[in-house]
Copies of this chain bind each other. A is one copy, B any other.
Amino acid sequence: MNVKQDQLTLRPCDIDELVYGASFLGSGGGGDPYIGRLILQQEMGAASDLAVLDPSGLSDDANIIGIGAVGAPSVLIERLPNIDSFMHALECVKRHSGKKIDAIVPIEAGGLNATLPLAVALRAKLPVIDADGMGRAFPETQMMTFSIHGYIASPLYLVDDHCDCATIETRDNAKTDRWIRPLIDAMGGAAMAAAYPLSGKMLKAAAVRNTISMQLSIGRAVLGARRKKRNPVQALVKHFRAGENGPRFAARLFTGKITDLKLRIDGAFNIGRIRISDTQNPKDVCEITVKNENLIVRRRGRVLALVPDIITVVDSESAEPITTENLRYGQRVDVIALAAPDVLRSPKALAVLGPKAFKLKYDYTPLEQLHGAK
């Protein structure tokens, strides 16, 4: 990874680290990272290095478009995301706006949706911006910093595997989300999306910054520990607390075995809950509630972490993040939580993506307060 002024260059050898970091920030959602890795490797093999622009290097009048797959992550394992369909979405954006596109921004920083926009940028020969609209993964269109800043998702383009397209134009992002959910179902459970046409000025005001470089640095810490035969779960928590992008509170919340799993696909979401039991004391149970992403961790009635703080279940041995659709009975796991970026913790943001927005009965309490820090 080369650093040239405001610009990183992403090379094929960076992919594993990037994918690890993206999986972790997925908070259980954002889709299977394995698929994202394969697609990114393929596009990088065919093209070359990818320019990753720091937002501060963008001119105010640059034209930027958000890119990501939408739908139930479990569907995207079986119906692979299609870069041709994204290219068709970009064509629609250009035809509709009459403007060229200057750069691509990932709509979210987690999982599959963190890598797909990079593959699209490679194919389209466009730079990608070192930022995103969530700083993690979230299940709904309006749960984005772009939306919280008052920017509209429309025109939002949904493209299926046959490059057939639905364009949604509303002035209300929650309405857009209500419209696209049943449509995505009718499209087979998933679609490739382009949304949030932003100017450079809008992006600089609203995006969560440095998420691609953060993915890389998380991946570097954990993959480095694995190579050095150090405990990767410890390395992960330590990395956040030392933090080259500034320290962030992080905690290992629970260690145990998955003993109960109730997950279903409902309205193009993966919904349910997981129970993890302490292997020494099976009565000591930790429960996680899921809507595509992990929303809340509770242990014996005590809340250990709450959305929008990032909650990720990782394999206890390898520290590999496990997305909700890949959770299985019997897995030995650690539950790791990471404080969300400040921009997700404002009252305005919490109204849209805090616990109440997910119909949880809890008020948001920052992770560090729940754990007596700070």
Contacts and interface: CB of A to CB of B under 8 A. Distances in A.
Interface stretch (A119-127, A138-146, A161-169, A282-290): A161-169
A186 interface: yes
Contacts of A167: 165-169
A185 interface: yes
A329 interface: no
Interface stretch (A39-47, A175-183, A318-326): A175-183
A178 B185 CA distance: 10
A170 interface: yes
Contacts of A100: none
A171 B165 CA distance: 10
A68 B42 CA distance: 46
A343 interface: no
Nearest to A179: B186
B182 A185 contact: yes
| Number of copies of chain A assembled together | 2
A17 to B, nearest CB: 39
Instruction: Say whether chain A's binding surface is mostly helix, strand, loop, or mixed.
Output: mixed
Interface residues of A, number: 19
Contact of A166 (B164, B172, B179): B179
Contacts of A187: 179
Counting chain B CB atoms within 10 Å of each CB, which of A171, A172, A183 scores highest? A183
Given A183-B183, A185-B182, A166 B165 contact: no
Counting chain B CB atoms within 10 Å of each CB, which of A175, A181, A186 scores highest? A186
Nearest to A175: B164
A146 B250 CA distance: 61
Interface in A170-202: 170-172, 175, 178-179, 181-183, 185-187
A316 to B, nearest CB: 42
A162 B167 CA distance: 16
A140 to B, nearest CB: 14
Counting chain B CB atoms within 10 Å of each CB, which of A171, A182, A187 scores highest? A182
A178 B182 contact: no
26 contacts: A162-B170, A164-B169, A164-B170, A164-B171, A164-B172, A164-B175, A165-B167, A165-B168, A165-B170, A166-B166, A166-B169, A166-B179, A166-B183, A167-B167, A167-B168, A167-B169, A178-B186, A179-B186, A179-B187, A181-B186, A182-B182, A182-B183, A182-B185, A182-B186, A183-B183, A183-B186
Given A164-B172, A165-B169, A166-B179, 18 more contacts: A162-B170, A164-B169, A164-B170, A164-B175, A165-B167, A165-B168, A166-B169, A167-B168, A167-B169, A178-B186, A179-B183, A179-B187, A181-B186, A182-B182, A182-B183, A182-B186, A183-B183, A183-B186
Interface of A: 162, 164-172, 175, 178-179, 181-183, 185-187
